[in-house]
A and B are shown apart, each in its own frame.
Chain A
Amino acid sequence: MLKYLRRIYSSKDVILRLAFTDLKLRYVGSYLGLLWSLLEPLLFILVYSIVFPLILKANFLEWFLFFICGLIPFRYLKKSTMEMTTCLVDYSSILEKSRISAENVIHAKAISTLVSFLIELSIVFVLVSFFVQPSIFILFLPFAIGISFLMNLGLGLYLSVIYPKARDISYILTIFFEALMFLTPIVYKIEYIPSLYRGVYLLNPIARLVYVYQAIFLHSSPKFTEYLSVPQELILLFLFSLAVFIIGYKKFEKEKEISLELI
């Protein structure tokens, strides 16, 4: 592991440069720039914010704040994982013709998606702060972000070596994340799940992760009910994400040679 970190450090320049290029292309490519790149989630949020409060008969503003607190971390998981999955193929020309190692390309992607997430998260923070007093829980935020990052990186490393062999996993992933979103308390609160099934429901680590983000932002809101202890969840989730990362990394190391021949 120490070797791994040293490798990252020695190639930090190229990782950062690739990440910067990726970000710049994402945000500067069009006329509206940053705004345009945020338009897609905004529209998504808008549609949901009109439809779901009606169905659930909830207060619009209350529901909206709850929704974005869960959605943005979930979107980060989805986008980051999927982008890292196709990463080796996307960067195939560079990988085939330079000495850049495959892992660095994935690290660059991990960083660029992290930065996008941070931008989106800061918008969420500003919006939420208008209506809900930030609580001491906000100090947990860096840990939550770290956990998300580690988990995504692990998933990305694992899936990136599978993708060249089975390119249709990207479709499967899209459907999987679509389903996962509804198994996660994003559009509804956990209390909608009957208490009988709640134990099974909470076996889903993503549900717990999303809950942690919601708790961090909305802790001081009177409408927020506390089910789980955030510090305890953070520790569990950290161990989980570490396991995901180690499995992903091992798989990546084992299969990257074969996958690189296929891109």
Chain B
Amino acid sequence: MSVIELKDVWKKYSLEREKATTLKEKFVSIGKKKEKEEVVALKEINLAIEKGECFGILGKNGSGKTTLLKIIAGILKPNKGKVKIEGKVVPILTLGLGFQRELTARENVYLYASILGMKKKEIDENYERIVKFSELENVMDVKLKDFSDGMVMRLSFSIAFHVNVDIILIDEVLAVGDAAFQTKCLEKIKELKEEGKTIVMVSHSAEDIKRFCDRALILDKGKIIFFGEARKVCEKYEEIIESERLKRWNEEAEKENKIEFDAFFEYPYVLKKGERCEISIKIENFTELPNLFFEGRNRARVFSKKLEDEKLVFRTDSLPLSEGEYNIWIEQNNKFLIRRPFKVLVKNSKESEENKVYMLPSSKAPFQDLTLVFGEIPEKEAEEFEKGKAVFVFENLESATNGKNACLFKENKILALDKKEVVLEKFKDEIYQNLAVKHFKEILIKTELGRSLIAYERNC
């Protein structure tokens, strides 16, 4: 049963309205053309959150997280779309909202709790528990201005956690308080979850979301760009953050070291596999010639380097990388100068199709000791292979692959490299004979990490 349901929700802010907030300004702006500017804070949000679920909303600053939370809370009304909420909601957008420094802690408990929507009777009943949780029993009659920030936080947390509602909305407030109190809060959240309360949590840190949430989504510029199981969403989010961090980092590094990539090397840095590749960079202030290598599914450092007309040119006749995304590293004296993400694309010719090599992760016996590599694998399976999921069982082996060529490894050596049918026959023979070799497993682990694939490929 979903307790929160959003259907095609849109929220826009109009910037034009904000301009004139006094009569004087309005008078002055008479006759002037009004520049209407609309900012779309949320686009086409569809969302259903189940009862008892802990749901995370990830996103950068200004991606619309808080707006979404406010819409769920009913503080803001959407311009378009439907919001259905079942049960009592409490939004905790700021800790200690409305706290008055001149009043005592006791009075502030009552004030904050009523702002959060508690009735006086409920507060009376819960008062002892709130105070006990905050560990501030002795100072409840002290004015709040004499409290330390940490104490204020503790107090506000305890109040917020004792509001008796069905749905709790939390906005980036978990990262406060000392370690011990934080643990206590985390436990309290778990407890609330077990009580069947629905929690919606907003954060720009994937850590918090991963720790509590069952499901999550990523917001970017008001749109849901990723949705699903919290762990996966967090991974995706970290990826996004990492790539952005890299970009920033590289921009800085480029500035600092005065590295200039040549024009062809613009983002998204498309290179073609098996082709002649030249990367020239302009680099100043180096004591020793830097190295360039790729890191991704494979790691390669196959470039020759040469200094030509104040430019450092890395050159290779055949780019030995399989399809995927890589980082380019430029390293000098074991210190990284630059790191950039880029894509290597496979050329769409017959020749290269046959050269495209995939390796099957053989995690199930009796394949364990053997590795079979096919020339062409349909997209779907290739994807699954990348995730490390594709395990080809014996019966399906023929139908599973479409490629023309295949290669069989055993004991770190090529056993067969021929047309697919021929290699398959060989493979079957091997399995029937059930030859197990100890060293092979190690290599498999390596290949599953995508490290030694190139070596094989080149051997082919």
User: Is B175's CB within 8 Å of the partner chain A?
Assistant: no
CB contacts (< 8 Å) of B91 on chain A: these are 97-99
Question: Would A97 and B77 count as touching, CB distance under 8 A?
Answer: no
Question: Would B97 and A93 count as touching, CB distance under 8 A?
Answer: yes
Question: Would B114 and A97 count as touching, CB distance under 8 A?
Answer: no
CB contacts (< 8 Å) of B90 on chain A: these are 99
Q: Which of A23-31, A48-56, A63-71, A227-235 contacts B (4 or more CB under 8 A)?
A: A23-31
Interface flags for A246-263 (1: CB within 8 Å of B; 0: not) read: 000000000001100110
Q: Which of B22-30, B272-280, B435-443 contacts A (4 or more CB under 8 A)?
A: B22-30
User: Is A164's CB within 8 Å of the partner chain B?
Assistant: yes
Which residue of A has the minimal Cβ distance to B21?
Answer: A167
Interface flags for A8-29 (1: CB within 8 Å of B; 0: not) read: 0000011011100100110011
CB contacts (< 8 Å) of B73 on chain A: these are 99
Given contacts A21-B111, A99-B75, contact A13 B119 (CB under 8 A): yes
Interface flags for B69-103 (1: CB within 8 Å of A; 0: not) read: 01001110100000000000111011001101011
Question: Would A262 and B74 count as touching, CB distance under 8 A?
Answer: no
Interface flags for B311-325 (1: CB within 8 Å of A; 0: not) read: 000000000000000
Question: Would A17 and B24 count as touching, CB distance under 8 A?
Answer: no
Question: Would A94 and B117 count as touching, CB distance under 8 A?
Answer: no
Given contacts A94-B115, A97-B75, A98-B93, contact A168 B107 (CB under 8 A): no
**Please, how many angstroms separate the alpha-carbon atoms of A257 and B13 in the complex?**
12
CB contacts (< 8 Å) of A98 on chain B: these are 75, 91, 93, 97-98, 115-117
CB contacts (< 8 Å) of A21 on chain B: these are 98, 100, 103, 107, 111
Question: Would B21 and A97 count as touching, CB distance under 8 A?
Answer: no
Question: Would A166 and B17 count as touching, CB distance under 8 A?
Answer: no
CB contacts (< 8 Å) of A62 on chain B: these are none
Interface size for B (C-beta < 8 A) is 35
Question: Would A28 and B102 count as touching, CB distance under 8 A?
Answer: yes
B179 to chain A, nearest CB (A): 27
Question: Residue B98 contacts which of A93, A257, A262 (CB distance < 8 angstroms)?
Answer: A93
User: Is B110's CB within 8 Å of the partner chain A?
Assistant: yes
User: Is A96's CB within 8 Å of the partner chain B?
Assistant: yes
Interface flags for B111-126 (1: CB within 8 Å of A; 0: not) read: 1001111111000000
Question: Would B17 and A18 count as touching, CB distance under 8 A?
Answer: no
A27 to chain B, nearest CB (A): 11
Given contacts A25-B103, A168-B24, A258-B17, contact A14 B115 (CB under 8 A): yes
Question: Residue A96 contacts which of B23, B75, B116 (CB distance < 8 angstroms)?
Answer: B75
Interface flags for B280-305 (1: CB within 8 Å of A; 0: not) read: 00000000000000000000000000
CB contacts (< 8 Å) of A239 on chain B: these are none
CB contacts (< 8 Å) of A7 on chain B: these are none
Question: Residue B17 contacts which of A14, A93, A172, A262 (CB distance < 8 angstroms)?
Answer: A262
CB contacts (< 8 Å) of A14 on chain B: these are 114-115, 117
Question: Would B21 and A165 count as touching, CB distance under 8 A?
Answer: yes
User: Is A193's CB within 8 Å of the partner chain B?
Assistant: no
User: Is B37's CB within 8 Å of the partner chain A?
Assistant: no
Question: Would B102 and A25 count as touching, CB distance under 8 A?
Answer: yes
A131 to chain B, nearest CB (A): 38
User: Is A190's CB within 8 Å of the partner chain B?
Assistant: no
Give the contacts of B233-287 with A (CB-CB under 8 A): none
What are the nearest 7 A-B pairs in CB distance? A97-B93, A17-B114, A14-B114, A168-B22, A166-B23, A13-B120, A167-B22
Residues of B at the A interface (CB closer than 8 Å) are 13-14, 17-18, 20-24, 26, 70, 73-75, 77, 89-91, 93-94, 97-98, 100, 102-103, 107, 110-111, 114-120
Give me 5 A-to-B residue pairs in the complex whose CB atoms sit less than 8 angstroms apart, sorted by A's number.
A24-B103, A99-B74, A167-B21, A257-B77, A262-B21
